[in-house]
Structure formats: structure tokens, C-alpha cells
Structure 1
Amino acid sequence: MGRRPAAWCCALLLVLTLTARWPAATARFVVEKNSLRVTSPAALRGVYECAIGNFGMPQYGGTMHGVVVYPKANRKACKPFEDFDLSFKPKPGGLPVFLLVDRGDCYFTTKGWNAQNSGAAAVLVADDRVEPLITMDTPESSGTEHIENITIPSALISKRSGDDLRKALENGDMVNVLLDWRESLPHPDERVEYEFWTNSNDECGAKCDMQMNFVRSFRAIAQVLEKRGYTQFTPHYITWYCPEAFVLSKQCKSQCINHGRYCAPDPEQDFSTGYDGKDVVLQNLIQICVFKVANESRKPWMWWDYVHDFAVRCPMKEKKYNRECANGVIKSLGLELEKINKCVGDPDADKENPVLKAEQDAQIGRGSRGDVTILPTLVVNNRQYRGKLEKSSVLKAVCSGFEETTEPDVCLREDIETNECLENNGGCWLHKAGNVTACKDTFRGRVCECPIVNGVKFAGDGYTNCEASGVGRCQINNGGCWKETKNGKTVSACSNEESQGCKCPPGFRGDGVTSCKGKVSTASSVGWGFLWVIFFGLALAGAGAYAVYKYRLRSYMDSEIRAIMAQYMPLESQETTNQQRPVDHADI
């Protein structure tokens, strides 16, 4: 127990047929990993691989810092630690405890449950043999109801890593480590593609209940993400085939459709009572076709409504798990029944069903993704999700698939955001008015990124400076530039024609931010004064010139008049001269 991944009965049947149907080279199981960084002691510093468990809640997209503790007793964690009077709850101000336990003697989930109840924040299971890392899975036996309540993350580390950590602790060293899931799932762009491998069977016990609870709780979130174009979701269903030698057997006839090509286990594991495996396969096929038809009408999110409503209205225990009930759900949702029936085809035909054939092909791992052999399985950006199938945990995984800072608002829900912006604004830039900030909370932690406000992008380092830039920037606090209103007229140093910066308008000078001093009024007063001086000067010069001109003209005219008058009458000077001269009788 606890030595190999335990698989569900459907997965076991699938594995038994993989060798016959798929080439051995292509069938593979990929162990999803995160990293464990030892920060002290110095001799052990470095990064080590560890395998993410298929239970608990891995912190996808984030990190956890803690101190490693190896218990003095109950080192395999197969019994409650309270029986040994041991508690690993950290003291106030202390680091969270990562409990190191040995592999063996009990289920992995039992170790995780006991570690959680002891106050540990995470459980590290050290392998007891030298081998490649494996995925710690959940058991199928009864009496393991606690699995659903495990919320701490778990990781399997190699035997060598376990030995090194134990030795350091025995030497009295304080061992500090950082569990890091930031690169466990790729996050290449602003859209996440994810798949949910599920089953329509509702009588398979705890796992079927878990799937239905997940659909019920995650439906609204999934639909919002899909409607807004943040995600591309695709549901899938595992089937297996009946070996040709047994196609005519009672078992194959009751579990398969299309002449043994597509099969599912009997829901009650009793071929003589209740529903058969073929009923499950047919409903799986209907659910796939519901998605395909809804997707063609650009409403892929309708799949969540159908699966939820079918589970509520058509349960096996009420003997309503049939095609008639399914048709009623389809009609109530306004889906096109005729198209869905055409997609389903004839389940009794001795030929391939193209829809189910595509599903079987999709089970084969490609690229970084391994074969899908366990139900339920969630695949995010082509990597298999590990951990509890629970709303907040899955949402963290989906959100970690977005490129950092591009996460939609749903990724900032109260149950997963860090709220680091509440204290001192996260150390980021804050507008002096206090209504615009560069601090943004994400499930990964806060980031300092200049915001976009009313369509206007702020630019800067996000820590000490952010300025509105681009078209429309003057609408936000006048772009951080100087502005003055005088006599009903507003003058501003901000211009939408400039992408950023402040520039005093024509006729003003200054830094454009704190002040712009007008040189127009001063220049105008000096200029007009100077012009008035020139004007008056010219006027006086003109008047003087005119006076001179008039004087000279008058003098000239007087001289001319005198000359003319002299010809017709003697002037006073002439008379005086004539009286003084003697008379000459010869002249008479």
C-alpha cells in the first residue's frame, strides 16, 4: 500500500487494453512535478525535483516557504500524531512546518491527512528506494472519506533528497525550503486551454460524487471565463474496447456499443441488475455531442448546464438515467435535438463512431502531456493537473495558465487573492489623489504595474512613477501637467498630440509640470509701448517736417509775389532811392 499509484477500475481496464491497441512506445504516464528549493543549510542549497500528489491542494502559480521537521516518532505518519503528543503548528511569527515523513505501510493520503491534522502546512514524503519519481495517487478502498478534506499540498521527493534532509536535521541544522509551483503549468499567453476528462456515471462512489460536486461549483466560473474569451474548454470521455475474441460475450454486449468498440465498466459491478456499461457509454456520447452542437452555435458553455441538469433530473438511483430523460433536458435548454441525434449516430451499428474514435485517439499523450488513464483528469495548457478536484484549487491552476498580469478578474476572487495591496499600497506607486494605483493583487502575489484608467494607459516603472500616456491622457488629471484658468479661458501644458510629457503652450515657458509663466502679456506690453514711442516720434517728425515745409513754401511764395509786384509798382525802397538821384533834363 502506498507504493504504486492506485487507479480507478475504469482506468485499470483501460491500461489492460493499452498494449493491444496502442504501440508500446507511445503509451506513457507523465509525472507532473514542481520544485523544492533548499535555502539553508548552505551545504544543501539548490533546486530539487519533486512529484505533485494527486490529492491535497497544490499552490499552482505560487510558492510556499517553510521549515522542514522530521518527527521523533510515527515517522511514516500512518497514525494520528496526537497519539504521540506531537504537534507541528508553528508558533506566532514562526515559519510554516513542512513535515518530512517516510514512505510505506499506509496510503499516501493517510500520511497527508495525519500531517494536516498535526498542524503541518505541507507534507514531504521521502521515497524508500532509488527510482524515478512517481505520482502519489488516491486509493479506491472504503474508509478514506478524509481524502476530500485534505487541503495541504503534498510532494514525493527522491530517496537521496530525503536522506540529505534527514542528515542535516540530525546534525542540528535548520532546514528552510521553498516549494515552487510557478512553472508547474505553462502560461504562454492571454488564453488558457483546458480539458476535463470525466464520466457520466453517477454510481461509482466518492469519485463520481467529487466530479458532480465540481461541475456544480465550477460551472458559473467556467461559463464566465468561456463567454469572455479567456479560456477554451473541451470535455472528454474515456472509453475502452472489448477484445475481438469476447465481442459476443454477455459482458461485452452489456458494457459496449458499436459491436464492442466502445465500452465502460458496469456502474454497479453487477451485470444482472441496474444499468449497464453501454448505458454509460451512450450518455457519454450524448454529452460530447451536446458540446459539439453547442460549440458550433458559439455557445460551448451550454455543456456545463446540460451535464449539471442531467445529473439532477436523470439520476440512476431514480431509474431516470435514459435517453428519454436526456432529450427532455436538451429541449429545455433550447439545444438542437436533431443535430445532437445525428452526431450520436447508431450505437448498434457494426462500424466506427467518428466522435468516440476521436476521443480514444485523444487519450494518447502528445508533447508534454502523458496518456490519460485516470478519471477524473484535468489538463491545463497540455499539462495534467494534480491535486484535489475542487473549485478554488482548480481555479488557481487555470489562473496560473495565464501569462502573468493578464489574469481575468475572476482570478482575483477573495478566496485566492493575496490582498497585498491593502497594506502600504504594496509598495507600489499611488496617485496623489489616492484613486489610481499601480498595485495589482493576483493569486501569485502583488505586482506593481502602471494601470489603464478609462482606456488611458499609464507608463512608468510602477514603483515610483506612473504617467498617463497616449491619446486621451489629458483627461486623467490633465496628464499630470500644469493648467491654469483665467478670465474664463483655460491654458494647459498637456496635449493629446504628444504621447507623453508636458510642454508649455506657445507664449509660455516653464517645466510644464508645476508652472508655465506667460511671456505673452509682458512681451505685448513692452512691444506696444515701443510701438507707441515710434508712432509718436514719427508723428512729431511728420509734424515738424510739415511745419518746415509750410514755412519754406510760404517764404518761396512770398519772394515770388514780391518779384511780380515789383514789376508794376515801385517798392518803398525803390522810391527812396529815386528821390535822392539829380534830375537829368535830357531824360524828360
Structure 2
Amino acid sequence: MKEKLGFLVGVWFLLCGVCVGRFVVEKNSLKVTSPSSLKSVYECAIGNFGVPQYGGTLVGTVYYPKANQKACKGFDDFDVSFKSKPGGLPTFLLVDRGDCFFTLKAWNAQKGGAAAILVADNRNEPLITMDTPEEENADADYLQKITIPSALISKSLGDSIKKSLSSGEMVNINLDWTEALPHPDERVEYEFWTNSNDECGPKCDSQIEFVKNFKGAAQVLERKGYTQFTPHYITWYCPEAFVLSKQCKSQCINHGRYCAPDPEQDFSKGYDGKDVVVQNLRQACFYKVANESGKPWLWWDYVTDFAIRCPMKEKKYNEECANQVIESLGADLKKIQKCIGDPEADEENAILKAEQDAQIGKGSRGDVTILPTLVINSRQYRGKLDKGAVLKAICAGFQETTEPAVCLSEDIETNECLENNGGCWQDKSANITACRDTFRGRVCECPTVQGVKFVGDGYTRCEASGALRCEINNGGCWRKTQNGRTYSACRDDHTNGCKCPPGFKGDGEKTCEDVDECKEKVNCQCAQCKCKNTWGSYECSCGGGLLYMREHDACISKNASVSEFNWGFMWVIILCLGAVGVGGYAVYKYRIRRYMDSEIRAIMAQYMPLDNQGEIPNHVPRGDI
């Protein structure tokens, strides 16, 4: 008994390292839609069990039982059922706080058919987080079977709802988790605060089971860059005055700096708390080395394999077994061992020191004091540690329209575009819609199809825009094929408009009617012309063997035009060639004659002076006079 008491005192001192921290109560929105006297939006605290509908909403009507108002007993004993009838709203069971665990109230409400449970506080105080019980025997099987969401409401709101119900008024409530988690961008960052201990009862069992089940989804999300995951481990320090005590020596490493409770809560048998701390450190170092090698998702394989191959129950929870798992996964064992360091050294360990610093909350996250704890986008997750529930919460952390395909599967959310196209614009003929399904619901957003951007409000109108707009459903314009001819009203230019082509008239979008050029006297107006209307055009002919010239809207003789044209053209060519030949010959004769005359005169000048050439004086050298 004394040893047990000493253990409890030791744990208390270990917890003092964080007991002055700030625990954040995670909340969601509760909107009362009727009666009018209660219409407003209130805060409620999310329970740390069940499955909150992260990213979604749940509408129901409130029921307050006449008996078993604290829901500490099953409602079968009172012959009461809260299952909603076909066409009716789901039932939110309102119960009072006290006399039994929150989880038992939720379980009894769920068995009775309630869709959610609202627990009214029994005192005027700030909202708290309803947690699972820390039972010593921890044998309550129902803890992992609770699936309905739960919320703690203030005493004043609970009293107001009860008053309205007693007056015969229906109270309708909308539980809204759409903003319970931040969703700023296309990547979700989440942390998992866990423990390598497998001897802590149902909580450890459910934690190990969760890691096994969630491993596949976690690794896919991490490999494709949708998420950034980081594992963490809670440790406490031993107060300096107790460093040399039996409790601290058995529960701590590095001279009391990093501690964990005894797994069996008995110092005389089994593994010690320091064994847990070392294994936690090994898992943290495995993640560090795997992350540095670009494969952080291997952490899930290591933790899963270690839990299977090295359990405490089989006395394999040791370094040798852990190293075998590490080597089987191809991780660098030497780097991991260097990261672990010497647990007996009186010095700080960089990894565990960083873990202790990370326990202290920053911003909206709050301190991490509960194991296990999941933190998504710096907000602590509340609810059952279940693959489907956690995946739904992670999906709620993505910005709308950026969710991976797994978030839009039937198992995770309801596709609102399947019913009435979500109330958005659509073109059934081209199978184009503005409805885009997201995790939080649908958005009406004009799409981009085959590189063509549609523009509009997304609800009543979406029109193709850009250079290729006519390639998609003809740009939403009129188009028709008849008699082997196709005409379109789509204008593939900067105007992005619909205009009937020449030969048609209409709005260009729905109708373009053929213009009868013959009746409108637009063309074919010459005296000999005969007009015949065709679809989209006209045909004009001439009687008496005449040929119709469309450019001049005139009829001319077929023979005359050809004969006159050919001979006239030929005479012009002949005359031109003759003139060029005569001119060329004259120039040629003139230049030959001039050349011959100049040659002859040069030769004769060498032998006798010519009549027009005077005496050529003798050349006298010039000197100075």
C-alpha cells in the first residue's frame, strides 16, 4: 500500500511539470433555430469520445427525458426510444451532468437511438472537455463503441431549453463543426502524441489498433504531399529534490530530466518507466532519420511492426528486438543510435528536450496533457481515435476544392452534386456542370473544360470564354447542319459572343433562321436575273444563255465575253512585243554605228590629220624662265 501511495505521489510530481500549463477546450458551434425566443448561436465543448462530424453539420430536435435525466441507466428500462421516425428530424438527447461518467451517458443515449447527446452542466462555470474515464480496471468495452457526437452546454442554455420544452415548444438545433478545424490551404499539418507503452489497458490497445488501421491512409497522404505528419511523445521531469529517489530512478533517464510512469504501476515487476522513455526516444529518432532520408512515412511501419513483434506481454520490449525491426525496414541503425545518445548521461537529450518544449501550447493549440492526442492544423482533435473519424477530421483541414480524392469517397462524405446538381448551373447536352463537391459541401463554380474557362455566377449562368470557346459545346451558341452544310453562330474572338452567320438572322444563342435573300431583294436584282433561295444562301441564274457575275450582280454573254476577252488580250500582247522589238533594234543599230565610227576615226588619226583636227604642237619641256 505504501508503495502504491509512493507511486501516486511520484506521478503527481512528474505531472507538475505541465500541470500549470494551459489546456484548451475545443469547441464547435451550436445554433438554435427554434423557438424564436432561443434563436442564437452558442458555444459547446466537443467531447473527447464518439465521432464529431468535423467539416459537417447535424440538425436535430431536442428531447429531455422525464425519467433517467442523467442517463446513468439504460433507457430500455424506461421503455423509451429516441429513434427518429421516417421523415422526422434526428433526436438530440439532453441530459444532466452528474452521478456517472460522461461516456456512460453517451453510450446509454446511443443505445436508446439518439443521434447526439447534449450534456447540460450543473454549475455556472466555463465549459470543460468531457473526457473518457481514467478507470483503474479500464474494462468498459463500450468506450470504443460510442459513435454519436457529444457536446457539453452551459447550465444557463440547458435551463432555457428545458423551460421551452416544458412549455410545449419544439427546440431545433444545428450542431456545426464546419469551422471546428482551421482549413487555410491545400496541405494539412498534423501531430500525433503517442506512447510506445502497450500495458495501459484499453487506451493503449485502441491506440495500437488505430496506428495499424490508419497506416495505409497516412502513408498515401504523406507520399503524395497532401499532409505533413509529425509524431510526438510526452515526457515529464522529476523535481530535483526527488532525482535520487527510487521512483525517479526507475521512471527517468538522463538524471531525472525525462520520465514516464511505470507501465504496470508496480515498481517491483515488469518494465520500468525509463524503458518506455528510451523506446519513445528510439521511435522519435527513427522518425528523424527517416524524415531526413525523405521517407517520413516509414515511421508508421516501424511503430506497427514493433507493436506486433516486440510487445511487453511477451517480454520482447527491448533494444535487441527494436533494432531487428529497424534493420528490416532498411533504416540507418547507426544514425538512430547516435540520435538516442547515452540515457545514463547527466546531460540533456536534444530530441527529448524539443519534445518537452513542444508540449507547451502555442497560439490556439494549448498544452498537450492527454495521451493519445491528435493535433490537426494546430487544433486538438476531440473524439474517438478511429480511422474513419480521424480521416474525416484531416479532410476537414483542407481548403475547399483542394481535398484529395480519398476525402470525397462515399465512406467519408456525401456528394451533394448528385441531387439536383446541387442547385448549380449545368449543360446536360455537353455533360458540363458548375457543381464541385467538397468535403464541407458543394460549391457552384464555373469549370474549366479542355483548357476552356467558363465564366459566370455558377448558379444560373456559365459561358465558355477564350480562343477555344467554340470547341466546347459550340460556345453555347446556335449550330445546325442541313443538306450537308453546317453553320455556327459562335464567334471565336475577343467578343465571346454569339452572332448568326451571314444568311441567317436571330439571337445567335438559341435561334438562327434562314434569310430569304430573294424576298428581301438584297441580291440578284438585274433585269435578266432569276433568284432561288437556299438554306443559308441563295442561287442566282440568268436566262438566254447568259452568265451571272455575282461580284457585279449582272448577266453577261458566255460566248462574247470569252471571245472578246481572248482576242483583245492577244492583240495587246502582240502589239507590245512588236513595239519592244522595233525599239530594241533601233537602239542596237544606233549603238553599233556610233561604236564603228569612233574606231575608224581613231585609226585614221594615226596616219593623217583630219579636216577638223589642227596641227599637234611639239611637246616642249617646261623649265624656269
TM range (shorter): 0.7 to 0.9
Gaps of 5+ in 2: 1-7, 518-535, 541-547, 569-625
Q: Classify the secondary structure of the residue corresponding to 1:35.
A: strand
Instruction: Give the superposition deviation at 1:497.
Output: 6.9
% identity of equivalent residues? 70
Question: What does residue 162 of structure 2 align with?
Answer: 166
Contact 1:14–1:373 (CA under 8 A) maintained in structure 2: no
Contact 2:14–2:259 (CA under 8 A) maintained in structure 1: no
Taking the aligned partners of 1:199 and 1:181, their CA distance within structure 2 comes to: 29
Distance 1:55 1:434, change over 3 A: farther
* Residue 254 in structure 1 maps to residue 277 in structure 2: no
Taking the aligned partners of 1:10 and 1:333, their CA distance within structure 2 comes to: 38
Amino acid corresponding to residue 87 of structure 2 in structure 1: G
Question: What does residue 80 of structure 1 align with?
Answer: 74
Question: What does residue 37 of structure 2 align with?
Answer: 43
Contact 1:60–1:185 (CA under 8 A) maintained in structure 2: yes
Question: What does residue 89 of structure 1 align with?
Answer: 83
Contact 1:256–1:278 (CA under 8 A) maintained in structure 2: yes
Taking the aligned partners of 1:438 and 1:62, their CA distance within structure 2 comes to: 21
Taking the aligned partners of 2:216 and 2:332, their CA distance within structure 1 comes to: 23
Q: Root-mean-square deviation (CA), in Å? A: 3.5
Instruction: Give the superposition deviation at 1:186.
Output: 1.3
Contact 1:365–1:371 (CA under 8 A) maintained in structure 2: yes
Q: 2:386 aligns with which of 378, 386, 390?
A: 390
Query: What TM-score do the two structures reach when normalised by structure 2?
Result: 0.77
Question: Please, which moves more after superposition, 253-262 or 434-443?
Answer: 434-443
* Residue 157 in structure 1 maps to residue 153 in structure 2: yes
Question: What does residue 177 of structure 2 align with?
Answer: 181
TM alignment of 1:459-474, pairs within 5 A: 459-470=455-466
* Residue 119 in structure 1 maps to residue 142 in structure 2: no
Contact 2:54–2:177 (CA under 8 A) maintained in structure 1: yes
Question: What does residue 441 of structure 2 align with?
Answer: 445
Taking the aligned partners of 2:390 and 2:208, their CA distance within structure 1 comes to: 14
Question: What does residue 551 of structure 2 align with?
Answer: 528
Instruction: Give the superposition deviation at 1:531.
Output: 7.5
Instruction: Give the superposition deviation at 1:206.
Output: 0.8
Taking the aligned partners of 1:352 and 1:418, their CA distance within structure 2 comes to: 50
Q: 1:216 aligns with which of 209, 212, 215?
A: 212
Contact 1:100–1:125 (CA under 8 A) maintained in structure 2: yes
Instruction: Give the superposition deviation at 1:157.
Output: 0.6
Question: What does residue 421 of structure 2 align with?
Answer: 425
Distance 1:179 1:250, change over 3 A: same
Instruction: Give the superposition deviation at 1:96.
Output: 0.8
Q: Classify the secondary structure of the residue corresponding to 2:191.
A: strand
Q: 1:65 aligns with which of 51, 55, 59?
A: 59
Amino acid corresponding to residue 304 of structure 2 in structure 1: H
More helix by percentage: 1
Distance 1:265 1:162, change over 3 A: same
Q: Classify the secondary structure of the residue corresponding to 1:446.
A: strand
Amino acid corresponding to residue 283 of structure 1 in structure 2: Q
* Residue 241 in structure 1 maps to residue 237 in structure 2: yes
Distance 1:483 1:64, change over 3 A: same
Q: 1:146 aligns with which of 142, 145, 152?
A: 142
Amino acid corresponding to residue 117 of structure 1 in structure 2: K
Amino acid corresponding to residue 211 of structure 2 in structure 1: V
Question: Please, which moves more after superposition, 524-533 or 350-359?
Answer: 524-533
Taking the aligned partners of 1:500 and 1:311, their CA distance within structure 2 comes to: 63
Question: Please, which moves more after superposition, 101-110 or 535-544?
Answer: 535-544
Instruction: Give the superposition deviation at 1:105.
Output: 0.5
Distance 1:415 1:249, change over 3 A: same
Question: What does residue 345 of structure 2 align with?
Answer: 349
Question: What does residue 336 of structure 2 align with?
Answer: 340
Instruction: Give the superposition deviation at 1:331.
Output: 2.0
TM alignment of 1:257-296, pairs within 5 A: 257-296=253-292
Deviation readout 1:498-521 (Å, 9 max, x if unpaired): 595557789999766567889997
Question: What does residue 365 of structure 2 align with?
Answer: 369
Contact 2:30–2:174 (CA under 8 A) maintained in structure 1: yes
Question: What does residue 46 of structure 2 align with?
Answer: 52
Instruction: Give the superposition deviation at 1:401.
Output: 1.2
Taking the aligned partners of 2:467 and 2:390, their CA distance within structure 1 comes to: 39
Question: What does residue 102 of structure 1 align with?
Answer: 96
Deviation readout 1:207-233 (Å, 9 max, x if unpaired): 111111111111111122222222111
Q: Classify the secondary structure of the residue corresponding to 1:312.
A: helix
Gaps of 5+ in 1: 1-7, 545-588
Distance 1:452 1:331, change over 3 A: farther
Deviation readout 1:145-199 (Å, 9 max, x if unpaired): 2111111111111111011111111111111111111111111122211111111
Instruction: Give the superposition deviation at 1:134.
Output: 0.6
Taking the aligned partners of 1:312 and 1:188, their CA distance within structure 2 comes to: 37
TM alignment of 1:491-506, pairs within 5 A: none
Taking the aligned partners of 1:304 and 1:150, their CA distance within structure 2 comes to: 26
* Residue 134 in structure 1 maps to residue 134 in structure 2: no
* Residue 404 in structure 1 maps to residue 400 in structure 2: yes
